[in-house]
Structures are given as C-alpha cells and as structure tokens.
Amino acid sequence: MGTPTATLVVVGNEVLSAKVRDENGPFAAEHLRDLGVRLQAILTLPDDLPLVAEAVARERARADWLLTSGGVGPTHDDLTLPAVARALGRPLVRHAGLVEYIRRSHRRWWGTEAPEASLRMADVPEGTRLLGETDLPILAVENVVMLPGVPSFFRKQLVLFARDLRAEPFHLAEVFVTAGEDRLAPILDRLAAEHAAVEIGSYPRFDGADHRVKITIEAKDRPRVEAARAALLAALPDGTLVRVVGP
C-alpha cells in the first residue's frame, strides 16, 4: 500500500493576524501522521477568493487529498466554497441535502426556521457529496474536502473522513545527545548518504534540557529505521548519548 498524501489550506484573516490561534493545523499534522498519512504542507491564507482558488487548484494536483479549514460559514468573509468552485471550474449550486441539514439543525438549536443567510451555506461546488454522519456532514468534491474552521467541528469531521485513509504507520526512533550539531554534522551527513531510505532530522536546544540535540530517524520500514539507529549509535562520540526512544 502506498502512502496517502494530503495538504491542508487554513483560510482566515483572523489566523494571519493572530486574533485567533490556529488549532486545526497542529491537530491535522499529528492525527494524519498517526494514521500513516503524509501531510505535505500547511498553507495559511487570508479571506481572499482568488488567492484561495489559486492555492486549491495548485495544491490539489500535488496531493491525494486537499483539505481546507474555515470559510464555510454564512458571513461575507466565508469564501472557501466559491473559491473551491472557481478552482474546479464548477458553478455553485444549492445542495438539497445540505439545505435539509441546515434547516433541521437550526430548528434543533434555535427553535426557528433557518434564514436565507444560513441557507447560503448550502451553496456548494456542483458535484459536492456529503460524507460522514448526518448530524455533521462532510463536504467533498473531487479530491477536495471542505472542513469547518471551528476546532471542535474540524476535529470531528477530520477524524471521520481520515479513518478510511489509514495506511502503514510511520516508525520513529529518537536519539538524545549532549554533543552539539557541529560535532554531529559529519556523522549525520554520512548516515543520510548510507541510509537514504529513512528521513533523518536534527533538532538543537539551547535551554536547560538534559540534551543539546534530538536526532530523529523515521520511515515506514521498521528494519531500516533500526539499522540506521544502530549505525548512528555506533558513530556517536563517547559519552554523549543521553537516551534512545523507539521504535
């Protein structure tokens, strides 16, 4: 089985201006990795229809799935749905099933009929299908999945959608050392050349931690991770190893 890939586009002036802290990007990165899905990029864009449309058209060609976060509400700055429609060259149409969901939800939460402003959320790119559960349907068209920006809704919908993407997990070894990156660089250069099938990362610290660098070795092939880890441990300067975690 190949490794599924995804890109996340987070839409919202409020995120770029730091009025709202993005919770959805970090959650998606962690959750997708746990499922064996490779998240290729997280892009944060303003509420600008042409910019979002351009990004959707470009990035959906580079990944198996293009996920969007935010911009699917009823107000003037909710532009994700028309941006996706433009990116796909499709018109916006009112989805009957989504209309019924909005009306039902409005009656349940507010005890009144849904106004036209709420029903505009049912104007979606032609061909949009509703996935997931009936109490919180997921909007998908081609390989684009349009998720809400509210973190609790985003998390629920992402978990529901991504469960069918589960693939071979990533295996990770973490090696913590007291040597600085200047001493480690030649070792890591050689390790990367000799173990090209694994991904090697080096992350220094400059605080009071018990280590100066964390080295990570990651791949979907566990024996390759173990082999690279063994080679690294054998090459470390004496007395610099603090601990090893995983796989």
Q: In the predicted model, what is the mean pLDDT of residues 239-247? A: 95
End residue of a domain, out of 101, 130, 165: 165
The answer on 107 and 47 residing in a single domain is: yes
* pLDDT bracket for residue 133 (50, 70, 90): confident
List pLDDT tens digits, range 134-155: 778 999 999 999 999 999 999 9
Tokens representing 57 are 């058209």
Q: What is the DSSP string of 121-152?
A: GGEEETT-EEES-TTSPEEEETTEEEE-SSHH
pTM of the model: 0.91
The answer on 95 and 58 residing in a single domain is: yes
The answer on 51 and 113 residing in a single domain is: yes
The answer on 184 and 122 residing in a single domain is: no
Stronger pLDDT, 54 or 105, i.e. the higher one? 54
End residue of a domain, out of 165, 187, 205: 165
Range of the domain at 68: 5-165
The neighbour count for residue 40, using CB atoms within 10 Å, is 14
* pLDDT above 60 (res 246): yes
The answer on 118 and 59 residing in a single domain is: yes
CATH number of the domain encompassing residue 179: 3.30.70.100
Q: Say which amino acid occupies 160.
A: L
List pLDDT tens digits, range 28-87: 999 999 999 999 999 999 999 999 999 999 999 999 999 999 999 998 889 999 999 999
The three-state secondary structure class of 7 is strand
Are the CB atoms for 27 and 155 separated by under 8 Å?
A: yes
